[in-house]
A and B are shown apart, each in its own frame.
Chain A
């Protein structure tokens, strides 16, 4: 199992550009989510999905879109990048209720810089 994979690892964007951060998992997890990590602020939830075709907003959704057409993939789209979106982005997945494990598995992250 590759677990949770994210691409790209690094990205530099200019203000106003758009891009998609990719996230995939091969564990057949129903639940997937996106977090951003900023210094001194921990990780904050952007969007999440409890299954294919179902998405919802987290704490900091503005400026981001998501979709979930398959169980495996959960891309995060930045429609018009802003310097405030400079951050490290983590994708996570879990299978709530499976046994007694509630563990969320995190990908290696995408470091995004918006100039």
Chain B
């Protein structure tokens, strides 16, 4: 079964708008929540990550919001740009183990000019 559930499957946003992608997990042992960005024909690349001891982390236009009690986390992309068009994956892992990543199913984001 999917340990990390991700929605929506696809998202179309106007340039300058806010893109929001949501993820939920069940395993309370997860203690590392990264977001990966993947362009066509390329491998995933780390975008931003959060630990459960904080509720929000911001890096430039990208923000992760984390709700430990609800077991949910989300990625917000502010002022979305056409160059942000890519597939985004949320993931979760247990750092005290081998840090194996459990991925969501991905969201294909298209930012239209």
Q: Residues of A with Cβ closer than 8 Å to B?
A: 4, 31, 33, 35, 40-45, 48, 50, 56, 58-59, 90, 92, 94, 96, 102-104, 106-109
CA distance A44 to B49 in the complex (A): 19
* Secondary structure of the A contact surface, majority rule: strand
* Given A43-B103, A58-B100, A104-B101, residue A96 in contact with residue B46 (CB < 8 A): no
7 closest A-B pairs (Cβ-Cβ)?
A: A106-B43, A42-B103, A43-B103, A42-B105, A103-B46, A106-B44, A96-B99
* Given A42-B89, A42-B106, A43-B103, residue A106 in contact with residue B45 (CB < 8 A): yes
Which residues of the other chain, B, contact A41 by a CB distance below 8 angstroms? 105
A104 interface neighbour in B99, B105, B106, Cβ under 8 Å: B99
Kindly report which residue of chain A lies nearest to residue B46, judged by CB atoms. A103
Tell me how far the C-beta of A13 lies from the nearest C-beta in chain B, rounded to whole angstroms: 20
CB of B99 within 8 A of CB of A102, answer yes
Which residues of the other chain, B, contact A35 by a CB distance below 8 angstroms? 101, 103
CB of B49 within 8 A of CB of A102, answer yes
Which residues of the other chain, A, contact B106 by a CB distance below 8 angstroms? 40, 42
Tell me how far the C-beta of B105 lies from the nearest C-beta in chain A, rounded to whole angstroms: 5
The answer, yes or no, to whether B62 is at the interface (CB within 8 Å) is no
Which residues of the other chain, B, contact A4 by a CB distance below 8 angstroms? 43
CA distance A52 to B15 in the complex (A): 47
Q: Residues of B with Cβ closer than 8 Å to A?
A: 2, 4, 6, 9, 32, 34, 36, 41-46, 49, 89, 93, 95, 98-106
CA distance A108 to B73 in the complex (A): 27
Which residues of the other chain, A, contact B100 by a CB distance below 8 angstroms? 33, 45, 48, 58
CB of A42 within 8 A of CB of B104, answer yes
* Given A42-B6, A102-B32, residue A56 in contact with residue B98 (CB < 8 A): yes
CA distance A112 to B43 in the complex (A): 15
CA distance A106 to B44 in the complex (A): 6
CA distance A42 to B41 in the complex (A): 15
23 contacts between A and B (CB under 8 A): A4-B43, A31-B98, A31-B99, A33-B100, A35-B101, A35-B103, A42-B104, A43-B44, A45-B100, A45-B102, A48-B98, A56-B98, A58-B100, A94-B99, A96-B98, A96-B99, A102-B32, A103-B49, A106-B36, A106-B43, A106-B45, A108-B42, A109-B41
